[in-house]
Amino acid sequence: MSIAQNRIGEKKFFASCAERTGVPTAPHWVIQHDADVDQLPDTVLPGILKTARMGYDGKGQARVKTREDVRAAWKAMQHVPCVLEQMLPLAYEVSVLAARAADGSTATWPLAENVHRDGILFSTTMPSASVSADIAGRARAAAATIATEMGYVGVLCIEFFVLTDGSLIANEMAPRPHNSGHITMDACETSQFEQQVRAMARLPLGSTRQHSAGKMLNLLGDVWFEFGLERTPAWDEVLAQPGAKLHLYGKNDARPSRKMGHVNCIGEHGKAAEQAFEVAAQALHILL
């Protein structure tokens, strides 16, 4: 969708929904001309300069502290339209998977808590152990409202920041099944992929009930290499751990930072899922 493909439009849309969702977006400033840099408020610094289009997994982003940093980063980005977002006191990031059917009915999954490394999703825990029931309820309601406001049909992901003071900030959206939703494949009654098919086929939405605690480990191409030499990861050790579910994407070439698959670790409770996660990471030589 055009809204999600352009950060400028996305920010405007989140701001327009804030009265109904009760969730604002981060203070920001649009940069499209030299004058925009001259006029940017000091209050949005330090911040993160992001290209309006084509940025993902940390690409097209630069941290800036001063106006001159902004000029230099914008020049390096070849003066494409950008959004400068104010740096906020982030406690953690959560995402809400929401589904909306053609008849207007909506469903959301429990909140997922995300950890990133080098701008790429590293792990997702569902349900988040950090959020209060109030924050979880507000975020899920906001995601459903956003889907309705767009007239969206299908599965989409809304990422939120939870700040140190407990406030909730709408960050960005992905109008599709999302990396942070892969844990639903093994931890929930209806996965995000089945739900997408249901929505597209005009079938009733499935239950989003979570039957098992879960934590997902993203698998990047790096795990296929050790000391510069390619190797076969120890899948047998991973799968020997109860609750570990391996999902590979069938890509032919493993490359550093390329998403190649994921391991869903599930259990009756969060501690069991965490134990399976730690064993899987150790077997794959991934530092925690």
Domain boundary (36, 52, 86) is at: 86
Based on the domain organization, do 128 and 45 belong to the same domain? Answer: no
**What is the structure's pLDDT at 56?**
62
Based on the domain organization, do 182 and 115 belong to the same domain? Answer: yes
For the segment 261-288, what is each residue's pLDDT rounded down to a tens digit? Answer: 999 999 999 999 999 999 999 999 999 8
> Which CATH number does the domain housing residue 70 bear?
3.30.1490.20
Mean pLDDT across 202-218:
98
The residues, ordered by sequence, that sit 6+ positions from 282 with a Cβ below 8 Å of its Cβ are: none
For the segment 125-137, what is each residue's pLDDT rounded down to a tens digit? Answer: 999 999 999 999 9
Quote the domain boundaries for residue 42: 2-86
Domain boundary (48, 68, 86) is at: 86
For the segment 243-252, what is each residue's pLDDT rounded down to a tens digit? Answer: 999 999 999 9
Based on the domain organization, do 19 and 137 belong to the same domain? Answer: no
**What is the structure's pLDDT at 68?**
96
Distance from C-alpha of 58 to C-alpha of 136, rounded to nearest angstrom: 26
How many domains does the chain divide into? Answer: 2
Q: What is the mean pLDDT of the chain?
A: 95
- Does residue 205 surpass a pLDDT of 90? yes
pTM as predicted = 0.91
The residues, ordered by sequence, that sit 6+ positions from 224 with a Cβ below 8 Å of its Cβ are: 230, 231, 232, 233, 254, 260
Distance from C-alpha of 34 to C-alpha of 32, rounded to nearest angstrom: 7
H or E stretch covering 105: none
Domain boundary (86, 120, 140) is at: 86
Mean pLDDT across 53-62:
73
- Does residue 4 surpass a pLDDT of 80? no
- Burial annotation 49-69 (CB, 10 A radius, 16+ → b, else e): bbbbeebeeeebbbebeeeeb
Does 288 map to a domain?
no
- Does residue 227 surpass a pLDDT of 90? no
Based on the domain organization, do 96 and 82 belong to the same domain? Answer: no
For the segment 165-195, what is each residue's pLDDT rounded down to a tens digit? Answer: 999 999 999 999 999 999 999 999 999 999 9
Interaxial angle between packed helices 133-150 and 7-21, expressed in degrees from 0 to 180 and rounded to the nearest 10: 120
Query: Look-up: residue for tokens 């590293």?
Result: 122
Based on the domain organization, do 113 and 203 belong to the same domain? Answer: yes
- Does residue 156 surpass a pLDDT of 70? yes
Based on the domain organization, do 109 and 202 belong to the same domain? Answer: yes
**What is the structure's pLDDT at 167?**
94
DSSP letter, residue 19: H
Based on the domain organization, do 73 and 192 belong to the same domain? Answer: no
Q: Tell me phi and psi for residue 248, to 5 degrees.
A: -105, 150
The residues, ordered by sequence, that sit 6+ positions from 58 with a Cβ below 8 Å of its Cβ are: 116, 118, 119, 120
* 1, 45, 99, 126 from 129: Cα distances, Å: 32, 31, 23, 8
Share of the chain above pLDDT 90, in %: 92
**What tokens does 92 get?**
């953690």
